[in-house]
Amino acid sequence: MSKGYLEKHRGAYPVYSSQTANNGRFGFINSYDYDGEYITWTTDGANAGSVFYHDEKFSITNVCGLLRIKDSRVRAKYLKYVLDVTAKQYVNTGMGNPKLMSNVMKQIKVGIPSLAEQDRIISILDRFDKLTNDLSSGLPAEIEARRKQYEYYRDRLLSFDELAV
C-alpha cells in the first residue's frame, strides 16, 4: 500500500506499517481489514521487532506482521508488553536488512500467568506508559507533582520558629 493509494482512498481507518512513529501508523484509508484486538510488529528494516497493540478497525501494509490472540487465557495487551521485551532478541540481522518474520514470531515462547496477574501487569505498565509518553497528561502531572514537592520542602526548610532573644 503506497502513500498515493492512501491519498486516493482517504478515510477514517488507520493503516499500520513498519514505521515506529505514531504507534506505527502510516496513514488513513476509507476501508479496513481487521476489527478488534491485535498485535502488529515491524517485520523489516532497522525497527524490525517493534511491537504495537491495536483495538480498533484498521489495515496493515506488507511490512507489518499481525497476531490475533485466539486463546482466552491470554490478554492481547499483556502479550504486547511481553513481546516488547522479547521480540528484538529474535530479529535476524545476518542478512544486512534486519527481519522478524511471522514464522519466527510464532516460535517465541512466553510465560502466561493467570488473567488476574496479566491484568495487574497491564495496569502497572499502562500507567507507566501514560506517564512517560502522554505529554498532555503524564508529563504535566509529573511536573506539577514535583513543583508541589519542591514548594513543600522549600517551605519546611526555610520556615523557622521565632528565635528567642
Q: Are residues 53 and 18 in the same domain?
A: yes
Select from 111, 126, 151 the last residue of a domain.
111
Residues 85 and 152 placed together within one structural domain of the fold: no
- As a whole number, the mean pLDDT across the chain is 85
Per the domain annotation, does 63 fall within a domain? yes
pLDDT digits (tens, 9 = 90+) for 19-71: 766 777 888 999 999 999 999 998 888 888 899 999 999 999 888 899 999 99
Whole-prediction pTM: 0.75
Helices (DSSP H) in 76-114: which residue ranges? 76-86, 102-105
Q: Do 78 and 30 belong to one domain?
A: yes
Please tell me whether residues 104 and 57 are part of one structural domain. yes
What Å distances lie between residue 45 and 1, 32, 64, 96, CA to CA? 17, 25, 11, 9
CATH of the domain at 87: 3.90.220.20
Are the C-beta atoms of residues 61 and 26 closer than 8 Å to each other? yes
